[in-house]
């Protein structure tokens, strides 16, 4: 059973957060292990599994990026161990950013670091905006168009994952 089915809500990149929280609290009460201490071991195990499922569902569905990855998995677009090929133009842009970071190893420049941070933030902001538009469209189009949008959303997911590594490098430089 997937998390959306468990919470009895429609699959969405943007689940209603009030409903998610409400279902979490409702199921937390229903499946709290303390209420089943006098039950048979098998029933206690079942309740513990349901309680764990509830906690995991809430952790995923209450976090935007985790929900995005989860929906992509449900739709068969995100596969474990998948090697995703990022577009060449994006990789070229990232190569320039990485080269600038490598230069900082030998010749640190605080102004250049700020410039790189702003560049990365702008790239991320553009990707976020594009993904918001894709997700908004996804929620209201036919099945055929959804497949195309899923591919775009997946591409942005992997681009942002790549940018996360660059942001981690920027944090290392910022802490020096």
Handedness of CA 132, 69, 18, 121 (dihedral sign): negative
**pTM for the model:** 0.87
Mean pLDDT of 16-34: 96
Q: Yes or no: say if 166 and 98 are a contact pair by the CB < 8 Å rule.
A: yes
Which of 40-49, 65-74, 133-142 shows the lowest mean pLDDT across its residues? 133-142
Tokens describing residue 113: 């670091």
Q: If phi over 0 gives left and psi between -120 and 50 gives alpha, with beta otherwise, what is residue 8?
A: left
**What residue spans define the domains of the chain?**
3-74, 88-174
Indicate the length of the chain as a whole number: 176
| Stretch 35-39: mean pLDDT | 90
Quick one: tokens of 122?
Answer: 């702008």
- The per-residue pLDDT for range 85-125, each reduced to its tens digit, is 999 999 999 999 999 988 888 888 889 889 999 999 999 99
For residue 122, give the DSSP letter: H
CA angle in degrees (0–180, nearest 5) for 91-73-123: 30
- The pLDDT value recorded for residue 149 is 94
Can you say how many angstroms the Cα of residue 53 is from the centroid of all Cα atoms in its chain?
A: 18
The model's confidence at residue 23, banded by pLDDT at 50, 70 and 90, is very high
Tell whether the model's pLDDT for residue 8 goes beyond 80. yes
Q: To the nearest whole number, what is the mean pLDDT of the chain? A: 93
- Could you give the percent of the chain with pLDDT greater than 90? 76
CATH H superfamily, domain 3-74:
DnaJ domain (1.10.287.110)
Task: Say what the pLDDT of residue 176 is.
Answer: 65
**Through-space distance between the first and last CA atoms of the chain, rounded to whole angstroms:** 47
């Amino acid at each position: 059973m997937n998390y959306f089915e468990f919470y009895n809500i429609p699959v969405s990149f943007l689940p209603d957060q009030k409903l998610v929280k409400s279902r979490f609290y409702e199921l937390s009460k229903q499946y709290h292990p303390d209420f089943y201490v006098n039950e048979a071991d098998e029933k206690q195990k079942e309740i513990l599994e349901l309680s764990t499922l509830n906690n995991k569902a809430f952790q995923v569905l209450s976090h935007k990026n985790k929900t995005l990855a989860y929906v992509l998995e449900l739709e068969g677009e995100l596969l474990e161990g998948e090697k995703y090929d990022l577009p060449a133009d994006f990789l070229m842009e990232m190569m320039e950013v990485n080269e600038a970071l490598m230069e900082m190893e030998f010749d640190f420049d605080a102004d250049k670091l700020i410039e790189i941070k702003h560049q990365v933030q702008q790239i991320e902001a553009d990707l976020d905006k594009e993904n918001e538009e894709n997700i908004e469209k996804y929620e209201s189009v036919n099945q055929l168009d959804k497949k195309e949008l899923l591919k775009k959303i997946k591409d942005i997911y992997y681009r942002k994952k790549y940018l996360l590594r660059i942001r981690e490098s920027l944090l290392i430089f910022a802490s020096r």
